[in-house]
């Protein structure tokens, strides 16, 4: 796949413009020479004013950075979006069914469709969840599905994020910025709205409140605090949906129920949208050294007095080694073929596949099973000899710790870089809410690799974001 040229989402091979981009192309041609540069400066001013930054761990240039924003939107036709959203919904339904099964009867393991060892000996598996029935049977309520495109009709799922997917605040603020910067473009095109996401998030959270909750459940967003890289997003979402932003010390458990400390006395909390990893949510059940969680929280959850969103233990369904079995998982629970394929993936524990990987490591992408954010990863074609040798040693030592994929020619979108427009590689993270219904925000967060030829779109590795426009019919 790596030998094929990248699919250009705006232009056909003959240079003509693809239909979804015709209006944008005409608008770009109308802009006077300095206009885009001024718009880019305005966009940066907007984001600085809003304070949208993220922390770069281990960076020498100060911890807080502004995520680069590209002002040329990515456009997806209504027909393309229908295909994507059907495939995404199928995937999240199957993964929630899988989570229920692995924490109950484990039918898929008994049937030999997924190796037992892969689940039961996996650090993402949470034995404390065995036999526990979450509210409405839903484990993962907020999901980000990473999708790449390699051709006009060829979309692949790169990974599923069922723990605490981030980035939705950038999707919302990118749209807000574009509405300010190019209002006339929205008048020419019917773009599906994304701004109702916070309202839909609140509806989803309310729909999974415990049966004992009042008619309007109390919702809290549990954050690790201001030093977390996604703190802006935690406070932004709490504010947007009218929920309480809390740190662990703001909550306490009494009589098996969770309360928030307020100036008017304790207030019971029904739903906690937690942005803290499993290990840290409750020092009495998980890591005893955690200062971020709430002592007794898991027992209150087990008793059905509070709903945790997402449920502990959901990470077993987005583990990179389990990812290779998702088509199998969809077939097992839904009796359907996967509508969106996985990226072909090599299993390094298989001696034959491992031999192929080690021989062709310079052409492949190697990912740590538990890595994220572009860390712990080797992009073969862009790597040095020393990096390849290092990863060869790592794979030989721990073949179960890595998955390997071909270097896909990710699609490109026009991007404003270096005072001009040039194609840059992109991926897409649509956001899915699962509660009383499945709600998929039309579009999602498009991440763009701003360096020419780079395939790494993560903000932690120098990538930026774009507004994603799904056209309505």
pLDDT in the model for residue 67? 83
Domain-terminating residue out of 406, 429, 453: 406
In a shared domain, residues 462 and 393: no
Q: Is residue 110 part of a domain?
A: yes
Q: Give the 3-state secondary structure of residue 415.
A: strand
In a shared domain, residues 466 and 351: no
In a shared domain, residues 362 and 462: no
- 274 in Cβ contact with 281 (< 8 Å): yes
Q: Is residue 3 part of a domain?
A: no
In a shared domain, residues 148 and 68: yes
> How many whole angstroms separate alpha carbon 464 and alpha carbon 448?
5
The DSSP secondary structure of 393-413, one letter per residue, reads: HHHHH-GGGEEEEE-----EE
In a shared domain, residues 401 and 415: no
> β-strands 346-347, 364-368: how paired?
unpaired
In a shared domain, residues 425 and 319: yes
Domain-terminating residue out of 387, 406, 425: 406
In a shared domain, residues 402 and 422: no
pLDDT in the model for residue 59? 46
Q: Is residue 330 part of a domain?
A: yes
pLDDT in the model for residue 2? 41
From residue 315, alpha-carbon distances to 156, 203, 369 in Å are: 20, 24, 11
Q: Is residue 270 part of a domain?
A: no
CA quadruple 263, 265, 271, 276: dihedral positive or negative? positive
- 401 in Cβ contact with 368 (< 8 Å): yes
> β-strands 271-274, 307-309: how paired?
parallel
> β-strands 219-222, 154-161: how paired?
unpaired
Q: Number of structural domains, the chain?
A: 2
Residue located via tokens 């572009």: 374
Q: Give the 3-state secondary structure of residue 180.
A: helix
Residue located via tokens 């939107």: 73
pLDDT in the model for residue 54? 57
In a shared domain, residues 402 and 429: no
Provide the domain limits for residue 385. Answer: 346-406
Q: What is the DSSP letter of 119?
A: H
Residue 75 pairs with which residues in a beta bridge?
Answer: 469
Q: Is residue 237 part of a domain?
A: no
Residue 396 sits in a domain whose CATH number is 3.30.1490.270
What does pLDDT average to in each consecutive run of 10 residues of the chain (473 residues)? 75 95 96 92 88 57 72 97 97 98 98 95 95 96 96 94 92 95 96 97 97 92 92 94 96 97 95 96 96 96 97 94 94 98 90 93 88 72 91 92 89 93 95 97 95 79 90 91
pLDDT in the model for residue 69? 92
> How many whole angstroms separate alpha carbon 395 and alpha carbon 312?
29
In a shared domain, residues 123 and 66: yes
Structure tokens at 245: 């932003």
Q: Is residue 63 part of a domain?
A: yes
Residue 36 main-chain phi, psi, to 5 deg = -65, -35
Structure tokens at 31: 């802009």
In a shared domain, residues 310 and 382: no
This prediction has a pTM of: 0.92
Helix segments in 342-405, DSSP class H: 351-359, 385-397
For 16, counting Cβ atoms within 10 Å of its Cβ (0-12 exposed, 13-18 middle, 19+ buried), the class is: exposed
In a shared domain, residues 466 and 356: no
Helix segments in 208-258, DSSP class H: 231-240
Domain-terminating residue out of 389, 406, 423: 406
How many alpha carbons fall within 13 Å on the CB side of residue 330? Answer: 17
In a shared domain, residues 328 and 384: no
Q: Is residue 157 part of a domain?
A: yes
> How many whole angstroms separate alpha carbon 198 and alpha carbon 472?
21
């Amino acid at each position: 796949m790596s030998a094929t040229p990248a699919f250009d989402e705006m232009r056909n091979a003959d240079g003509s413009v693809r239909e979804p981009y015709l209006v944008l192309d005409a608008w770009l041609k109308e802009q006077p020479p300095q206009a885009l540069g001024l718009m880019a400066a305005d966009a940066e001013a907007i984001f600085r004013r809003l304070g949208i930054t993220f922390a770069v761990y281990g960076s020498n240039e100060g911890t807080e950075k502004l995520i680069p924003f590209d002002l040329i939107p990515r456009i997806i036709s209504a027909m393309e979006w229908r295909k994507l959203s059907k495939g995404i919904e199928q995937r999240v339904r199957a993964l929630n069914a899988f989570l229920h099964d692995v924490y109950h009867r484990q039918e898929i393991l008994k049937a030999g469709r997924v190796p037992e060892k892969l689940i039961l000996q996996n650090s993402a598996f949470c034995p404390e969840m065995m036999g526990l029935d979450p509210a409405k049977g839903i484990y993962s309520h907020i999901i980000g599905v990473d999708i790449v495109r390699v051709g006009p009709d060829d979309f692949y799922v790169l990974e599923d994020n069922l723990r605490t997917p981030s980035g939705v605040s950038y999707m919302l603020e990118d749209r807000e910025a574009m509405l300010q910067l190019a209002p006339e473009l929205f008048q020419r095109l019917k773009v599906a709205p994304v701004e109702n996401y916070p309202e839909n998030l609140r509806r989803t959270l309310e729909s999974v409140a415990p049966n004992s909750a009042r008619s309007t459940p109390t919702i809290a967003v549990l954050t690790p605090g201001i030093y977390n890289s996604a703190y802006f997003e935690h406070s932004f979402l709490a504010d947007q949906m009218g929920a309480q932003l809390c740190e662990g010390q703001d909550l306490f458990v009494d009589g098996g129920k969770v309360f928030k400390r307020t100036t008017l006395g304790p207030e019971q909390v029904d739903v906690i949208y937690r942005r803290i990893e499993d290990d840290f949510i409750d020092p009495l059940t998980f890591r005893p050294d955690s200062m971020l969680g709430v002592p007794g929280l898991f027992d209150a959850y087990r008793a059905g007095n509070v709903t945790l969103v997402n449920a502990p233990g959901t990470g077993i369904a987005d583990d990179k080694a389990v990812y290779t079995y998702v088509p199998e998982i969809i077939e097992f629970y839904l009796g359907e073929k996967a509508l969106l394929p996985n990226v072909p993936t090599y299993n390094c524990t298989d001696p034959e596949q491992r031999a192929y990987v080690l021989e062709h490591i310079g052409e492949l992408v190697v990912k740590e099973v538990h890595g994220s954010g572009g860390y712990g990863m080797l992009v073969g074609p862009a790597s040095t000899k020393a990096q390849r040798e290092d990863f060869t040693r790592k794979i030989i030592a721990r073949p179960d710790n890595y998955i390997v994929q071909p270097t896909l020619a990710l699609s490109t979108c026009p991007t404003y870089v270096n005072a001009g427009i040039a194609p840059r590689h992109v991926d897409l993270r649509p956001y899915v809410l699962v509660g009383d219904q499945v709600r998929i925000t039309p579009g999602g967060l498009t991440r763009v690799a701003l360096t020419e030829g780079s395939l790494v779109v993560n903000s932690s590795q120098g990538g930026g974001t774009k507004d994603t426009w799904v056209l309505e019919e």
